[in-house]
Structure 1
Amino acid sequence: MAHKKSFLPTKTCAHCGRPYSWRKKWEKNWDEVRYCSERCRRESKKSKSGI
């Protein structure tokens, strides 16, 4: 049985600008989550360092 998850909070990724939804693994630190994926987090750090 599939569940509708439209009630989950969403944010916009700081790197790619795409919306992403709350995940169980972010339960304890949802306020600090800024990126939708590990890839966006890594690429954001690359662009800040000027590489």
Structure 2
Amino acid sequence: MSARRRKKSELPHKLCPVCQRPFAWRKKWARDWERVRYCSERCRRARPRADER
């Protein structure tokens, strides 16, 4: 039997601290969802650095 698919609106969401856009849970982040902070690799690279503050 296949697992029940969820609508995107039912998935957990977070707010990206760089672009301020909401992003939804993805299967590839299943193990690391608690540690995911950025919506994309581009935002992760653009994050403010400690030495730039």
Asked if these proteins are the same fold (TM beyond 0.5), I'd say yes
State, as a whole percentage, how many aligned pairs show the same letter. 57
User: What is the aligned residue count?
Assistant: 46
The residue number in structure 2 matching 1:18 is 21
Q: Whose Rg is larger?
A: 2
Comparing both structures, which one devotes a greater share of its residues to helix?
1
Query: Any stretches of 5+ residues in structure 1 without a counterpart?
Result: none
TM-score, normalisation: structure 2 = 0.76
Displacement of 1:4 after TM fit?
A: 2.7
Cα RMSD over matched residues? 1.5
Alignment gaps of 5+ in structure 2: 1-5
